[in-house]
Structure 1
Amino acid sequence: MLYQDIVDFSLTTPAWLHTLAEVGTDAGLFVFAALFVVAALRAWRGPARDLALVVAGPAGIVAAYVVSEVVKLLVREDRPCRGGITTIAVCPPSDDWSFPSNHSVIAAGAAATLVLAWRALAWAVFPLAAVMAFSRVFVGVHYPHDVAAGFLLGLALAPLFALLLVGAVTPAVRLMRTRLSPR
């Protein structure tokens, strides 16, 4: 089984890689947050729609996350680490379901919505999201299909929700700019 092969391999890797894999997923989320701030600063003087895309991105990610939580509650798949398998990470509590991976939804959603606002980031953010998603299998808390489904959900839904919000956010950006501009 692919999950078992990945977890067995992960246990043979150095301790520093275990720490990096466990901490790296959450640290990657901070990298994405910082990139949203940089993207907002970059878009500040550009067209209002560009800044609206940056602002709508995190809202799209949250909406995709909510969808993934609903799917988790409907599917209720047990975590693979609950089967007595030795893993790098501590297994989440029994009411924390496995399918789909929320970390993967958020990582892929962040990458996809950032690329909507700043296409030149694609070369960096998609590989970062993929590594963050894979780390969930590597540390043993998700099956590969949990991560793949989460990645696809984030990739499809977060930019869709962000684009649906842009029409409402753009006038708010224009209003904010007029209120903040020196008279």
Structure 2
Amino acid sequence: MDGGAIDGNWYLAVLGFARETPWLQGFMALFTNVGLVLLALLAVVTWWRMRPLDAARMAAALWVPLAVALAYGLSNLVKVLVQEPRPCIRYPAVPTVATCDYVTDYSFPSNHVTLAVAAAVALLFAARRTGLVALGLALLVAFSRMYLGAHYPHDVFAGAVLGALVACLGLPLWRPMKALVDYLRDGALRPLTGTGERTTVAAR
């Protein structure tokens, strides 16, 4: 797939903005990966906070890493099926903030964005306030991927859609996941799932 034919002009426009903002380049280069680390930390904190609460809350917290793992697998599958070259390969004469070393790594969709949005949307189900913070981080990660020249806009959009859809798969799984948490709380995995009451209070 030729990504440049879809939104190559938008990609070039973002790169133009990146060249005009050298003071922002270092932050974006750092945050594109640090943002994922911060999202992982939010997931861990949310899991810890849910341990003394009911099974519904804990099920929501445990769904976050599961959603991220599933989204990552699907994203890589789509990459192999579509095989879209990175935009820096399509436009070799255009300088990018990030080094163009993606010869063997396809562009569509963005793995970074898929993971970030999957985590953020899943966190919204577990703890809304934390999820809103996570969503802000995910949006910044998404912009950083274009700013650095690593992805076309449509790569980022597709990653966001894929991540959100995977995270929403947790909704029909809520009942069996709550039952699983209750079961695990009676066994050896109790330190993982906490000691909360068997209630069904909605997550906030």
The alignment's TM-score, normalised by the length of structure 2, stands at: 0.81
Query: Alpha-carbon deviation of 1:90?
Result: 0.7
Matches within 5 A, 1:26-65: 26-65=33-72
CA gap 1:102/1:9 in 2 versus in 1, 3 angstroms: same
The aligned amino acid for 2:121 is A
Map of 2:154 onto structure 1 = 145
Distance 1:144 1:174 in 2: 47
* RMSD after superposition: 2.1
Map of 1:114 onto structure 2 = 123
119-128 or 41-50, larger mean C-alpha shift: 119-128
C-alpha deviations, 1:64-100, integer Å up to 9, x for none? 1111100000000011111212000011331100000
Map of 1:14 onto structure 2 = 22
Gaps of 5+ in 1: none
Larger helix proportion of the pair: 1
C-alpha deviations, 1:20-76, integer Å up to 9, x for none? 111102111111111112111211110123112212211111101111100000000
20-29 or 98-107, larger mean C-alpha shift: 20-29
Gaps of 5+ in 2: 1-8, 196-204
Map of 2:176 onto structure 1 = 167
- Size of the aligned set, in residue pairs, is 180
SS at match of 1:77: coil
Distance 2:146 2:71 in 1: 21
Distance 1:27 1:69 in 2: 21
C-alpha deviations, 1:144-166, integer Å up to 9, x for none? 00000001100111341586377
CA gap 1:3/1:178 in 2 versus in 1, 3 angstroms: closer
CA gap 1:97/1:139 in 2 versus in 1, 3 angstroms: same
SS at match of 1:89: coil
CA gap 1:151/1:88 in 2 versus in 1, 3 angstroms: same
The aligned amino acid for 1:102 is N
The aligned amino acid for 1:2 is W
Aligned-residue identity in percent: 36
Distance 2:185 2:79 in 1: 35
The alignment's TM-score, normalised by the length of structure 1, stands at: 0.89
CA gap 1:162/1:24 in 2 versus in 1, 3 angstroms: farther
Instruction: Give yes or no for contact 1:56–1:165 (8 Å, CA) kept in 2.
Output: no
